[in-house]
A and B are shown apart, each in its own frame.
Chain A
Amino acid sequence: MDKIYEIVAAPGTSRFLLLMVVLFPFLAAFFVSLFGRRARRAALFLAFVHLGLTTCLVVIGTMHLNVRGEQSTLRNKDIVKFQPTFIPGDTSGRSGEDGRTGWTLLSLTSSPPSANRAGPYVQFFVGMDGLNLWLVALSSFMLIPAILVSWDSVKERPGGFFGWMFFLQGAAIGAFLSFDVILFYVFFELTLIPAFFLIGKWGQGSARRDAARKFFLYTLAGSLLTLVGVIGVVVTNPDPLTGQITFSLPDLMGNVQHWLKIAHDEALAGKPEKLAALHATQFWLFIAMMAGFMVKVPIWPFHTWLPGAYGEAPIGVTILLAALLAKLGTFGILRFVLPLVPDASLMYGLPVVGSLAAFGIVYAALCAYAQKDMKLMIAYSSVSHLGFLVLGIFAFNAEGLSGSVLHMVNHGLSTGAVFALLAFLLDRYRTTQISQYGGLMGRFPNFALLTFILCLASIGLPGLNNFVSEMLMLAGLFHADMPHSHHYTLSVIAAFSIFLSSWYIMTMLQKVFFSPLKEPHPAEPESATPPADVSRRELFAFGSLAGLCLILGLYPQPVLDSLKTDVSYLSHIGDGARARVKGEAIPPDVVELAPVAPKSTPKKGK
């Protein structure tokens, strides 16, 4: 077994695997679009192939992540960097890893790129670490239910439809895996094109074109500001030795910490001007970078594109929008905002963005309660849940960050799943109006069982996935040791959101599944048989989602273990920022936030 592990985990294999995970969806998109009527079968097959590739990546990846030195890389280090692995084009060749890629796309300097030196090159720099591995797995997996629920409902040009779905998936995966800030931005924007066509062309309602346009322009406007912010960080944080700018995220975050450390030392010596200037710069960069992510998440009041886009999109696309694209926003905050403008994230994260998010939690929950359509209700509930997630991120400590990474996966699964359930009703009755339904528990018992499990998962019932991440984020908020902040208020609102979500979900369940039977006119009135309970195709789609919710609820620790090191990097940055903002020296034991866990062995090592 050890030998097999060695072969499988050889650098070349895993790099190729990672590259395939990024590129395969684009190839699949092209391939599927060639098919006409039978595109759905091809799409499902290719989605399973991709899931297979991703599963291999996850297996090898977790083994790799778990054997990383626990805290050794962190101890006695002032400057921490993300440490992506499995980088295609790693400059070290076949021998090992040095965390850089040689695949330069665009060079801003005339001198040829040197191997081990950061420079102004835009590179195809993708890699895996604990923060993005599970989101890639989510992206790979969620396409399958999205295809399955679109099976019968997409009749017009299925080749194009499924092709764009793959394109969307590929762009999302690319964004998750990017470690070059410009590359991330490219992938981030690339998601807009398929989403625009999918909503505008295959949408369900009459307002679909308008919704697609609004979605496109709104997110584009936001992300352009993000680009400005990112460029601002790049320009203001050149390499301390060579003075060259860099687009590589690990190097860039290293530079940021370097300049902050210098300013901090001066501030401790009694000259706070430099630190104050850096903080002032960071404030504007923070605002600019957050603009795009706040639209993408979305955070109140930048959410108004969401009900339209989610409501008008075909249900399969809504699943991907809710499960993947919303995560791009939160992931962007985690991956870029926190390490690149740490002090501003600490100073304005919870107080400003957190307050907006907390307000949005309550506001969106109230809106969700008032909706007459289930699809819009879930759309608003997603805004509410993501507000909690943003709070967890800005708690900027190990509990909150671990919780929020896990919650991205969990929320993607459960919200995607609840949207998927609506496809069951849409296929049979073409409506998701709450008032049209009643007493479905007796009519469709199996569907009712699956709906209950997934709805309970989304309201954070223990034993199902969301509970774990919500508790971690709540703990993070309680642990958040913020200067001038009101984190107890935010914790109360976050805890209250757990009640609010059950308030509207239970009300919906009462109306739709309890009470005497009431069903609208079937979609196919001429067919002799009345609509039947879940088919095998649907059972697979819903059942696998419910199963994953249960597994992640009962046994989330492998995921948490694999991202422990990466989270400790971020929380280390957070501790540094905390010390700077408070005007204290960084305490020496600051790195020992996470208790050292018993040494974990590779799962399939023996």
Chain B
Amino acid sequence: MSDPIDLALVILGLPLLACILAAYLAITKRSAAKYAHVPLILGCATGAVLGIILLLKVAADHDHRFISDPMTWFAAGNLKVSFQIVVDPLSAIMLAMVTFISTWIAIFSSSYMHGDKGYARFFAIMSLFVFSMLGLVLSNNFLLLVAFWEGVGVCSYLLVGYYYEKPSAAAAARKAFLYTRLGDVGFLLGIFLLWKMGGWNMSLTAMFDYMTKIPPDQGELTAACLLLFCGAVGKSAQFPLYVWLPDAMEGPTPVSALIHAATMVTAGVYLLARCAPLFAMSPDAQIVVATVGGITAILAAFIALAQNDLKRVLAYSTVSQLGYMFLALGTGGAISPVFAVTAAMFHLFTHAFFKALLFLSAGSVMHSMGGVIDMRRFGGLRKLMPVTHLTFLCGAAALAGLPLLSGFWSKDLILEALTKAADEGKSYTGGYYILLLVSLVTVFMTAFYTFRAYFLTFWGPERIPEEAGHHAHESPSRMTVPLMVLAVGAVFVGIAVEPFNHKFSHLLEHAPTLLQAQAVSHTDMIPHHFNKWLASIGTALALGGLGLAFVMYRKGTETLPGAIEPVFALSRNKLYVDEVYGAVFVKPGGVLAFLSSAFDGFLDAMTRLISSIPRFVGWWVRPIQNGLVQFYALSMALGLTVLLTFVVFRIAR
């Protein structure tokens, strides 16, 4: 047990065990199915404790990395795919974070999903979801990583489509699966390209070692990095494949919390962090990563401005925040990759807390409002749901980046990374400068839409939809306790680990992968410091957004001045991106399918035509069969003569 590898395997195995138990309960339909949440909660809680122990072990070790012995999954020729895990600061942080957040989401769900007929099924899939995510984090082989990556995708498909009778849920589930799968095509191609370039290694560490020793062709490397990034774009809902994530709201709310905070969407960020040595070698790929991140951040923030569905606001905010993380990742190479990845991972870490909190709070609201989540239909819930109100406020303030809260510190690091890249980066300084401006504007917008949602939900006169019935009260303690725990996290986790003691960045500074990236990027380490000016500007922008939201929405209702109505309409309609995709890809795809199918009929007719030729020939030559034996003999002799003449001439030539 003391061996970190064993510890990690135990952490990985617990949710799998929970999944098997819950699946057994789901299939046999026993009355014990109402306890289906117990394995998951116990598994995740144990996992979280072990995860923290593991984190300490990794921090204390002088190598900071443990790699297990490979176990062959399949191998042929030069392709060798083995089950091999790697425990280093990067994966240890993810492991602890995922299990910790999942524990509280599981506890919340046990109350939220209470009495649902698919209770055991829900927990079975959720356990599998956590298992896949942990496996993804630990994998040290690209195709093994793909395996867990797809596992995460399937679990999200099943959970988003959990309410299978709802046509919208079914459509959202399919959409989520297909959009991420589209990114995976690029991901797979990138992996095989890297395999070809990287000395036929599929193991991540071996491949990075090979590539850093023997620098590959720059063009090919950039292509491979961008193909890998395709996978991240799909999974982490970046432009242009982000459209599935807001629709994924159709699943039960705890699922959204899980997808947005702990599992699934963070996978893409983690992938790029893990592959930092490759990306650090390709500045061209990095500016693309940063640009996509920047576009996503501002685009999603803009769409979030006018959404009426509380969960949709949060969903777009996730897309936007993930864009921030990619902005940070994209600076690695231009500046120290260690700094860039630390900024991204730190934001991922704090974001997990406040986004899980916000979603669970929204779930609590939805639970008591009888399933209604449209902010126009309720309001002024401050008195009715005091705990939910306060916890949501904590989460909102952290997301907006108000000073001293966790979101403030992590966002500050990202802005700092961008400033450095724009200021003293090695390449594309102009590009990074524009991206810095974009991210500053996004800070303002984030604070605005977050507090718009907050005011619309909790301020003004109390309004409750009729669906709520007698449910309209504060949620039970099994839901509020996780909220409170996560609220504490959202407020304090940032300040506790980074700004003063630099625990987080010290840990990542020793991650071998990042050191490798640092070595190949030829950049200087950035010392710990606090940029007062940047922090002040960020604070001012966040407070400005908050203030504007206060002015406009403190009454708890939305009345828009005529001038900005068109802008809000554009935002409300999500910039018509879904419609554009529908017109440009989905519809033509269907038409093309129909045309192919029609053409297949034509092809069949053509073969029939060809097959009728013998019959036609037969009809034509039928008169020859006249029954006269002499005629047959004559034609035989003639034919033989012709053939022999031909042969003789051929040979004699």
Contact = CB atoms under 8 A, between A and B. Distances in A.
Contacts of A474: 188, 192
A371 B597 contact: yes
A397 B196 CA distance: 14
Nearest to A372: B597
Contact of A369 (B157, B590, B604): B590
B505 to A, nearest CB: 34
Contact of A366 (B73, B167, B188, B593): B593
Contacts of A564: 76
B196 A478 contact: yes
Interface size class of B (residues with CB under 8 A): 35 or more
B600 interface: yes
B551 to A, nearest CB: 44
Given A304-B604, A366-B592, A499 B78 contact: no
A307 interface: yes
Interface string A202-229: 0000000000001001100000000000
Given A217-B611, A307-B600, A398-B76, A499 B195 contact: no
Contacts of A439: 164-165
B177 A461 contact: no
Interface in A427-463: 439, 441-442, 446, 449, 452, 456, 461-463
Contacts of B174: 506-507, 509-510
B603 A462 contact: no
Contacts of A442: 164-165
Interface in B426-462: none
Given A491-B189, A510-B173, A567 B182 contact: no
B147 A462 contact: yes
B334 to A, nearest CB: 30
A81 B472 CA distance: 79
B77 A514 contact: no
Interface residues of A, number: 66
Interface string B69-96: 0001111111111000000000000000
A472 B154 CA distance: 22
A89 B597 CA distance: 51
B143 interface: yes
A496 interface: yes
Interface in B148-191: 148, 150-151, 154, 157-158, 161, 164-167, 169-171, 173-174, 177-178, 181-182, 184-185, 188-189
A367 interface: yes
A479 B81 contact: no
Contact of B74 (A366, A367, A468): A468
A463 B144 CA distance: 10
Contacts of A496: 185
B645 interface: no
B596 interface: yes
Given A475-B77, A560-B74, A594-B76, A515 B167 contact: yes
B17 interface: no
B188 A498 contact: yes
A514 B162 CA distance: 9
B77 A513 contact: no
A416 to B, nearest CB: 22
B596 A366 contact: yes
A304 B80 CA distance: 38
B607 interface: yes
A506 B171 CA distance: 10
A54 B611 CA distance: 40
A560 B82 CA distance: 14
Q: Chain B interface mostly helix, strand, loop or mixed?
A: helix
A449 B154 contact: no
A70 interface: no
A569 B143 CA distance: 27
B150 A462 contact: yes
B481 interface: no
A580 B52 CA distance: 60
A179 B363 CA distance: 66
Contact of A556 (B74, B157, B169): B74
Interface string A293-318: 00000000100110110000000000
B76 A399 contact: yes
A463 B165 contact: no
Contact of A499 (B72, B181, B596): B181
Contacts of A301: 603
Q: Chain A interface mostly helix, strand, loop or mixed?
A: helix
Contact of B151 (A463, A594, A595, A597): A463
A479 B77 contact: yes
Interface in A479-521: 479, 491-492, 495-496, 498-499, 502-503, 506-507, 509-510, 513-517
A346 to B, nearest CB: 17
A557 interface: yes
Contacts of A462: 143, 146-148, 150-151
A370 B594 contact: yes
A499 B77 contact: no
Given A442-B165, A499-B182, A594 B77 contact: yes
Contacts of B611: 214, 217-218
B275 interface: no
Contacts of A567: 76
Contact of A517 (B165, B593, B596): B165
Nearest to B80: A595
Contact of B600 (A304, A478, A560): A304
Contacts of B53: none
A479 B76 CA distance: 12
A422 interface: no
Nearest to A462: B147
Contact of B597 (A370, A495, A510, A594): A370
A499 B185 contact: yes
- Give the interface centre of B76, B184, B188, B607 by most chain A CB atoms within 10 Å: B76
A474 B143 CA distance: 12
A506 B193 CA distance: 28
Interface in B115-159: 143, 146-148, 150-151, 154, 157-158
A557 B181 contact: no
A556 B81 CA distance: 11
B564 interface: no
Contacts of A556: 73-74
Contacts of B603: 301, 304
A516 B184 CA distance: 31
A48 interface: no
B75 A560 contact: yes
Contacts of B170: 510, 514-515
A571 interface: yes
A54 to B, nearest CB: 23
A367 B593 contact: yes
A403 interface: yes
A370 B165 CA distance: 24
Q: List the 8 closest pairs (A to B, CB-CB), nearest first.
A: A398-B77, A514-B170, A462-B147, A402-B76, A370-B597, A399-B77, A366-B596, A370-B593
13 contacts: A366-B589, A366-B596, A369-B590, A403-B76, A446-B27, A467-B150, A471-B143, A491-B192, A495-B189, A503-B178, A506-B157, A509-B174, A557-B73
Interface of A: 214, 217-218, 301, 304-305, 307-308, 363, 366-367, 369-371, 397-399, 402-403, 439, 441-442, 446, 449, 452, 456, 461-463, 467-468, 471-472, 474-476, 478-479, 491-492, 495-496, 498-499, 502-503, 506-507, 509-510, 513-517, 554, 556-557, 560, 564, 567, 571, 593-595, 597
